[in-house]
Structure 1
Amino acid sequence: MRDVAFSTDRAPSRAWGEFVKSVSDDAYHFIGCEEFCTHFRADSAEWDEFSACWDGLTQDLYMNDQGLYRYRRYGEFLFLISERQLVQLPHGPYHQPEYINNLNGGVMRNFDPLDHVFVKNGFFKGLMEDLSLMFGAVEGGVEKWNIKLHPYRIRAAVGMQGRPTPEGVHRDGVDYIAVLMIRRKNIIGGETCVTTNDGVPLRALTLARPKDMLVFDDRRVMHGVSPIECVADSCDAYRDVLVVAFTRC
């Protein structure tokens, strides 16, 4: 697969001061859906096209807890700050060391790639630019970011919990993380906790609405999400999120 590059041509979002200050001072910041729609770019048609991509996720076959509840895809990009350009890297396996992921780490995991609609979607491209510039303002002096994309669907059913973070409270071994809620359907649970690296609780909240987002400094805090359970057994039950991992190049 050859590199695929595309540039965003819209002006960057303004009013990021509170976000940048919170991430700098506290190592995390919650952005509710109303704030998201004010400070980020959220065209409704582009959002609908983007969120529909979660219906095409495929089952994660690398779960060492034998769980059948996780569906995902994977992709990797570079964002070049000065050019405002997002470059898709050739598809390859995803790897985490065991000391970072004590459940599924230590192996090359070959997930299906992001589909064409996802990669070319205008909401997605705008979000990657905005987050790259925002984290760049926190970090200072960044020329380019490595970005790893993880769209997840965690399913639940009668007698089967879904586990968004089966490895427990953890860090991902990157610089910054953004977790964007896509949708919740027919579930309870899924509360996110943020702790210090020593496990001291800092914040507990539920990403409950589409476009609720939590961003944090993965080097300074840890995070985890409680299991989900289905409410009614007559329809599907799942939690859809996008996890975006930024590492300074």
Structure 2
Amino acid sequence: MYDFTLSDAMSEIMEIKAQYISERSVFVEGARMIPLLKALGATDVDLERIKLVSDDLPKDPTLPFRESRNGRFCFDFENSRVYRLEAQPFALSAEEDFVRHDSGQTRVFEEVGDNLQLNTALQALLVFKSLVFHGVATAHRPKLDYNSPGWICTLFNLRTISTPELQGEPALEGVHSDGVDHTMTTFLGSQNMTPGSAVTFLHDMREKNATRWNETDPELVLGERGHRHFLDTLMVVDHERKHSLSPVEAVDTTRTATRDMLIFFTRKPVLEGHISHPYDSLTAHERLPMTVELPQLQEKVLADAGAFVAQGALR
């Protein structure tokens, strides 16, 4: 592995973006992500630090086997920046293809702090996601404002925990979508977790919501991916592919097993009548400010990636 220049990274991201456009999902192995993120500003020190950021997570508001924090960010392409948004409650509904015991509930998560948002590896992940999804045409969700220039990204830092008494479920809800336009999931690490744990299955939109991962129609399974190595990253066009996950299983069943992830939910701002309309502020966070510049290269990357698809380079 060698260090990428920014030009190297942009060329590589062009290929990743082309696959995303063509296949509506893309999995990038951690070994491929590391030089990309370093070219986008991540330092070796922060790459090591981000592995430990999940160690101080508080209890999740509704799931007993999970610890969590979240934070809201705005991709502001008009001003070539991403900035931290003020805290808001969080809700997902059955109308958005999310069927669980807490569907439609207003949940309040403790906020991610500077130890995560000022980490250059996290900031590089935000830049990476912006370059991949910006300008990609997708099926529109109802009650989202596609005329708005901004995009809202809700970041979750999650630890799923299995104990001898409790099974950890990365997706207790079974088959679902995340109520957004673009979902990105990045693996930070695990302890005592079997290699076959927490497999992500991608499903055709015809699959029934809330179906368990092992009870789905095989003809509607479009692929599967396992996050196994540091920074393994999956991006999915969320309103065109549903997904489900298998549980976290322990190698030593007498001890706790954990799985640490970063989840990036990105969508357009909502319109009146959407469940999240009262909680969709675009106001910057006063107590925890953060701004990162975005490369002004998205349109060229999109054009080049589109050319790759048109030529059948990745089909």
TM category (shorter chain) comes to 0.7 to 0.9
Is 2:191 aligned against 1:195? no
Q: Which residue of 2 is the match for residue 4 of structure 1? A: none
Q: C-alpha distance in 1, partners of 2:49/2:137?
A: 32
Is 2:40 aligned against 1:32? no
Q: C-alpha distance in 2, partners of 1:176/1:109?
A: 21
Name the stretch that deviates more: 157-166 or 233-242: 233-242
Q: C-alpha distance in 1, partners of 2:256/2:248?
A: 13
Q: 1:142 offset after TM fit, Å?
A: 8.5
Q: 1:236 offset after TM fit, Å?
A: 3.6
Q: C-alpha distance in 2, partners of 1:22/1:166?
A: 29
56, 68, 74: which one aligns with 2:70: 74
SS of the equivalent of 1:170 reads: coil
SS of the equivalent of 1:224 reads: strand
Question: CA-to-partner distance for each residue in 1:157-187, whole Å, 9 max, x for gaps?
Answer: 1242110000001101100011000102101
Q: Which residue of 1 is the match for residue 210 of structure 2? A: none
Instruction: Indicate if the aligned counterparts of 1:132 and 1:145 stay in contact, CA closer than 8 A.
Output: no
Q: Which residue of 2 is the match for residue 5 of structure 1? A: none
- Which gives a bigger RCO, structure 1 or 2 (Cα 8 Å, sep 6+)? 2
Q: 1:219 offset after TM fit, Å?
A: 1.0
Q: Which residue of 2 is the match for residue 86 of structure 1? A: 82
Structure 2 residues not aligned, in runs of 5+: 139-146, 208-219, 270-315
Instruction: Indicate if the aligned counterparts of 2:98 and 2:179 stay in contact, CA closer than 8 A.
Output: no
206, 215, 231: which one aligns with 2:226: 206
Is 2:149 aligned against 1:129? no
Q: Which residue of 2 is the match for residue 216 of structure 1? A: 236
Question: CA-to-partner distance for each residue in 1:5-47, whole Å, 9 max, x for gaps?
Answer: xxxxx95841222211221121101101121123333432112
Q: Which residue of 2 is the match for residue 108 of structure 1? A: 106
Q: Which residue of 2 is the match for residue 167 of structure 1? A: 173
Q: C-alpha distance in 1, partners of 2:148/2:87?
A: 24
Q: Which residue of 1 is the match for residue 212 of structure 2? A: none
SS of the equivalent of 1:123 reads: helix
Normalized per residue, the structure richer in helix is 2
Q: C-alpha distance in 1, partners of 2:115/2:37?
A: 20
Q: 1:61 offset after TM fit, Å?
A: 2.6
TM-score (norm 2): 0.70
Is 2:181 aligned against 1:180? no
Q: C-alpha distance in 2, partners of 1:185/1:151?
A: 16
Q: Which residue of 2 is the match for residue 20 of structure 1? A: 17
SS of the equivalent of 1:58 reads: coil
Question: CA-to-partner distance for each residue in 1:93-112, whole Å, 9 max, x for gaps?
Answer: 11112333221221110110
Q: C-alpha distance in 2, partners of 1:52/1:238?
A: 12
Q: Cα–Cα, structure 1 residues 80 and 210, in superposed 2: closer, same or farther, change >3 Å?
A: same
The structure with the larger Rg is 2
RMSD over aligned Cα atoms: 2.1
Q: 1:235 offset after TM fit, Å?
A: 4.6
Amino acid at match of 1:80: D
Amino acid at match of 1:29: V
Normalized per residue, the structure richer in strand is 1
Q: Which residue of 2 is the match for residue 97 of structure 1? A: 93
Q: 1:137 offset after TM fit, Å?
A: 4.1
Instruction: Indicate if the aligned counterparts of 2:57 and 2:67 stay in contact, CA closer than 8 A.
Output: yes
Name the stretch that deviates more: 27-36 or 76-85: 76-85
Structure 1 residues not aligned, in runs of 5+: 1-9
Q: Which residue of 1 is the match for residue 161 of structure 2? A: 155
TM-score (norm 1): 0.87
